[in-house]
């Protein structure tokens, strides 16, 4: 198998039970060093975002169990055990909306050959997420000119060296000069030894990567200087052990003893830690529920991930107890607990519902997450992340199929985007991306930022919408957190390198549902490409409209209700201050001005960058989209083979694009 010398390796690592492991891996077509700095900064921001912390923490917790019997670095595997981490890596390595940059990475399913790639590629980005509060990074570069080589050949490359973003940028200043100023500012922010992965970590993670002798000596010296800290918690641990044994032996304990734990946070923390080490002993409904009820008393986040053998009855006992139910807002649970009994899980959640649910588990890519989602969704007011749904993002079909284009839930009212650029019309299905109204707004501004210019590295419109919505910030504040959600899978597949288009099948339009419209218009220019103008509108059908070419002939303007961006937010998120939209518009204008100052674009005319679509424009765009509805149909036989019967029946009336280009090893 030949390695492409123009590919850059991207790895996410973490220390699991004292050993560094690779959790996700991707490749990036070679880009200038300036854009490598964008990649490092973007990945560090995503992996340190508080909005992603709970999902990342759950997958890290599950990794400890996963690696007990799986040695990834030695044998490799071919599935996606940590789909949320993989999505964070793929999205972060593919776009940087703040700079108008989009160049999709290549997701790699499987990890064979990582060590060779680290040596043979021009450079490799490594992100360490052991400490989610402060992830680390490095750029491991090959000082020799990379060559194409087969993995089975003998080679001797002793030139791999880890560098900071600033040192990497200085090494190749003649590449990507248009981006150098922005990259230099980011690189200076990242030029902190505490943010860099140390040499010893890399040498131990990739022992065969051709490290110089002095690097080996430094790694050995660092290992010899490691000492184990002494913890003075013997008394607390003994008390907890005695308490657990008493409950298990007698099936309960005195309420006064429970009160001691409720009033002592250190004891509760020690109890959770002790129980997580002996989760196999927690399969008995009575004692398990009582013990964990105490451990999670009066906590907003109940993390039951370590107890994969916990029965549903015990979960219900915990979450319905008087000391837990009024306080809990977030629940994290292993999806192994309820592979087939989603209704029972819904009943186990607190009667008043929760704000967030996180349910991950390695190797769930074969599960159908829509069953769990449909049953549990009424009990979850806000964010619900399912590991199997994220795994579906890298497969051949969406995980949430709606034949009638009905909203996935009241809080997620838009399920498709129709956009026009000159004579080209594209449709993106967004239903399985689970995008809230706020993230829909921040996401569409990210799309507009990445579509400002058409220079060599400015954008790649094959997948920019999918990437923008999957990483849309979760608020309209000045410094919002990037929140990772499922990739809109049809856009991801349709926008693959082999397809060359981001279009997916247009869905039916029904009353009570919204379709977002976007027009990119460029003024006439004889010289540089002009700064584009954008028009946004939201359409609601007054009666059902079938997404077929015949509907274009009968569609009338009075069949549609067209509202502005502000009107959509007032209808779906009335609590939002409309004034908070102004910073998004100003930021877009600043980026456009920067492109003009750098000579990439020309500012022609005085029209605003963003305006509201007229009813006539919305009608014309939707009519054109309907007339082209069948252009993206494909034969079903090749695309639906291999799906389970339930999915096959639910997907029978939909047409999907051919499979994405997935690289396996």
Q: Please name which of 244, 331, 323, 9 lies closest in space to residue 142, comparing C-alpha atoms.
A: 9
Give the pLDDT of residue 510: 82
Does residue 351 have a pLDDT over 80? yes
Does residue 654 have a pLDDT over 50? no
Concatenate the DSSP letters of all residues of 528-586 into one string. Answer: SPBPPEEEEEEEEESS-B-SSHHHHHH--GGGEEEE-HHHHHHHH-TTS-GGGHHHHHH
Give me the chain's average pLDDT, please.
75
What is the percentage of the chain residues whose pLDDT exceeds 70?
66
Antiparallel, parallel or unpaired: β 160-163 and 136-142? antiparallel
Q: Which regions of 387-510 does DSSP assign to beta strands (E)?
A: 414-421, 424-429
Dihedral pair phi/psi, residue 502, rounded to 5°: -95, 15
And the tokens for 436? 């809230």
Q: Which of 254-258, 369-373, 561-565, 590-594 has the lowest mean pLDDT?
A: 254-258
pTM for the structure as a whole: 0.83
Does residue 400 have a pLDDT over 70? no
Q: Measured between alpha carbons, how far is 503 from 427 in angstroms, rounded to an integer? A: 5
Cβ pair 625, 427 in contact under 8 A? yes
Of residues 517 and 3, more confidently modeled: 517
Q: Measured between alpha carbons, how far is 552 from 629 in angstroms, rounded to an integer? A: 10
Give the pLDDT of residue 85: 94
Q: Measured between alpha carbons, how far is 497 from 19 in angstroms, rounded to an integer? A: 36
The model's pLDDT over 481-509, given as tens digits with 9 standing for 90+, comes to 899 998 876 655 544 444 445 567 788 88
Does residue 61 have a pLDDT over 90? no
Q: Give residues with Cβ within 8 angstroms of 445, minimum separation 6.
A: 97, 584, 587, 588
Average pLDDT of the segment spanning 467-482: 84
Q: How far is CA 92 from the centre of its chain?
A: 8
Where do the domains of the chain lie? 7-219, 234-392, 414-629
Of residues 77 and 612, more confidently modeled: 612
Range picked from 114-123, 354-363, 644-653 for highest mean pLDDT: 354-363
Does residue 366 have a pLDDT over 60? no
Q: Please name which of 410, 386, 411 lies closest in space to residue 400, comparing C-alpha atoms.
A: 386
Does residue 585 have a pLDDT over 80? yes
The model's pLDDT over 120-156, given as tens digits with 9 standing for 90+, comes to 455 788 999 999 999 999 987 765 544 333 344 444 4
User: What is the sign, positive or negative, of the torsion defined by CA atoms of 299, 304, 306, 311?
Assistant: positive
């Amino acid at each position: 198998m030949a390695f492409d010398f123009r590919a850059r390796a991207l790895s996410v690592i973490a220390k699991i039970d004292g050993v560094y492991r690779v959790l996700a891996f991707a490749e990036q077509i070679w880009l200038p060093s300036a854009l490598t700095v964008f990649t490092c900064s973007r990945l560090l921001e995503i992996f340190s975002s508080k909005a992603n912390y709970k999902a990342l923490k759950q997958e890290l917790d599950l990794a400890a169990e996963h690696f007990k019997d799986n040695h990834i670095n030695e044998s490799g595997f071919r599935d996606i055990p940590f789909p949320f981490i993989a999505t964070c890596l793929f999205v972060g390595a593919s776009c940087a909306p703040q700079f108008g940059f989009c160049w999709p990475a290549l997701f790699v399913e499987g990890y064979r050959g990582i060590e060779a790639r680290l040596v043979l590629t021009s450079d490799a980005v490594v992100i360490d997420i052991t400490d989610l509060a402060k992830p680390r990074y490095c750029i491991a570069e090959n000082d020799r000119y990379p060559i194409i080589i087969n993995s089975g050949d003998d080679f001797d490359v002793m030139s791999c060296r880890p560098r900071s973003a600033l040192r990497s940028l200085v090494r190749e200043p003649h590449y990507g000069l248009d981006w150098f100023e922005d990259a230099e500012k980011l690189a200076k922010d990242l030029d902190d030894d505490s943010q860099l992965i140390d040499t010893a970590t890399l040498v131990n993670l990739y022992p065969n990567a051709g490290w110089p002798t002095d690097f080996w000596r430094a790694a050995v010296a660092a290992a010899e200087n490691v000492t184990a800290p002494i913890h003075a918690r013997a008394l607390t641990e003994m008390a907890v052990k005695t308490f657990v044994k008493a409950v298990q032996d007698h099936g309960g304990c005195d309420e006064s003893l429970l009160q001691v734990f409720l009033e002592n946070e250190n004891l509760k923390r020690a109890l959770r830690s002790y129980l997580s080490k002996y989760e196999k002993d927690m399969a008995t409904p009575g004692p398990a529920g009582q013990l964990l009820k105490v451990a999670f008393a009066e906590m907003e986040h109940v993390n039951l991930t370590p107890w994969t053998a916990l029965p549903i009855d015990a979960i219900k006992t915990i979450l319905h107890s008087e000391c837990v139910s009024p306080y809990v807002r977030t629940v994290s649970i292993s999806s192994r607990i309820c592979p087939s009994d989603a209704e029972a899980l819904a009943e186990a959640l607190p009667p008043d519902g929760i704000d967030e649910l996180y349910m991950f588990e390695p190797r769930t890519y074969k599960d159908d997450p829509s069953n769990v989602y449909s049953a549990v969704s009424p009990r979850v007011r806000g964010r619900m992340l399912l590991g199997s749904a994220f795994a579906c993002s890298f497969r051949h079909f969406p995980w949430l199929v709606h034949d009638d284009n009905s909203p996935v839930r009241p809080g997620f009212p838009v399920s498709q985007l129709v956009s026009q650029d000159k004579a080209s019309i594209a449709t993106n299905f967004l239903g399985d991306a689970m995008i809230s109204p706020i993230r829909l707004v921040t996401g569409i501004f990210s799309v507009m930022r990445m579509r400002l210019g058409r220079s060599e590295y400015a954008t790649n419109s094959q997948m920019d919408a999918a990437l923008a919505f999957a990483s849309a910030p979760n608020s309209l504040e000045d410094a919002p957190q990037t929140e990772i959600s499922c990739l809109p899978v049809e856009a991801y597949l349709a926008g693959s390198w082999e397809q060359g288009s981001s279009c997916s099948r247009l869905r039916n339009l029904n009353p009570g549902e919204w379709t977002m419209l976007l027009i990119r218009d460029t003024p006439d220019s004889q010289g540089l490409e002009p700064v584009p103008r954008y028009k946004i509108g939201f359409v609601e059908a007054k009666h059902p409209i079938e997404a077929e070419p015949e509907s274009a002939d009968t569609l009338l303007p009075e069949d549609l209700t067209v509202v502005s961006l502000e009107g959509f937010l007032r209808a779906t998120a009335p609590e939002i201050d409309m004034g908070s939209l102004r910073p998004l518009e100003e930021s877009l204008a600043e980026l456009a001005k920067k492109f003009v100052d750098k000579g990439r674009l020309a500012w022609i005319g005085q029209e605003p960058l963003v305006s509201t679509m007229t009813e006539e424009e919305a009608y014309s765009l939707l009519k054109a989209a309907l007339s082209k509805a069948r252009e993206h149909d494909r034969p079903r036989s090749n695309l639906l083979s291999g799906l389970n019967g339930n999915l096959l029946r639910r997907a029978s009336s939909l047409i999907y694009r051919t499979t994405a280009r997935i690289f396996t090893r």
